């Protein structure tokens, strides 16, 4: 049941995102768009409550409960930036908005990568916290090994994102050199 609910929440996220952007740019109803997009966090609340009730009713914690915690962490930390990312692109494509821009070189790119890493670190820390809460909730009487393994995966995810951001800091990408041929001379 938990896996089905995770899938429903993920589909619901994309449906609400599409509906919110359609209301904003095609129907020209920005307030309705905001109302629809503000429904996104309700999906995580429902998933959290169902997962907690499942554990309270004696379900043995397993990978599904861990996946629910990870999904909630990612939705909380990455949901807003995902919506913003799509919003900029839809505004550009369908409403004459400015083109999306991501820094490509140097310190600006490194800063961008650190911001991305920070969002993933936050997602991982939220998931680790929810998983730890589940471990404490289940207590010593239940097998919490699968939840602890999810925590370890989240620590690995933090490490990967920090290494990526650090690589852009230590080895900044440089713009291509301008040659005489590329200037049209």
- Please write the tens of the pLDDT for every residue from 141-177: 778 888 999 999 999 999 999 999 999 999 998 998 8
Nearest of 19, 36, 63, 53 to residue 153 by alpha carbon: 63
* Helices and strands of the chain, counted as H and E runs: 6, 0
Residues 15-28, mean pLDDT to the nearest whole number? 94
Question: In the predicted model, what is the mean pLDDT of residues 122-131?
Answer: 96
The residue behind tokens 């041929």 is 181
Residues 181 and 185: their CA atoms lie apart, in Å, by: 6
Using an 8 Å Cβ cutoff, are 128 and 154 in contact? yes
At residue 171, what are phi and psi to the nearest 5 degrees?
Answer: -125, 70
Percentage of the chain modeled with pLDDT above 90: 69
């Amino acid at each position: 049941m938990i896996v089905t609910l995770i899938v429903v929440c993920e589909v619901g996220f994309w449906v609400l995102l599409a509906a919110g952007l359609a209301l904003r740019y095609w129907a020209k109803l920005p307030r309705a768009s905001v109302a629809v997009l503000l429904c996104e966090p309700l999906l995580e609340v429902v998933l959290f409550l169902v997962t907690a009730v499942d554990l309270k009713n004696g379900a043995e914690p397993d990978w599904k409960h861990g996946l629910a915690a990870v999904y909630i962490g990612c939705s909380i930390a990455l949901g807003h930036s995902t919506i913003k990312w799509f919003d900029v692109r839809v505004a550009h494509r369908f409403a004459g908005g400015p083109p999306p821009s991501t820094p490509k070189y140097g310190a600006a790119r490194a800063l961008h990568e650190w911001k991305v890493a920070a969002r993933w670190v936050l997602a991982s820390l939220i998931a680790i916290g929810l998983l730890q809460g589940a471990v404490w909730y289940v207590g010593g009487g239940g097998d919490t090994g699968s939840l602890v393994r999810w925590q370890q995966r989240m620590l690995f995810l933090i490490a990967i994102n920090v290494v990526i951001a650090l690589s852009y800091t230590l080895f900044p990408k440089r713009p291509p050199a301008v040659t005489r041929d590329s200037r049209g001379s």
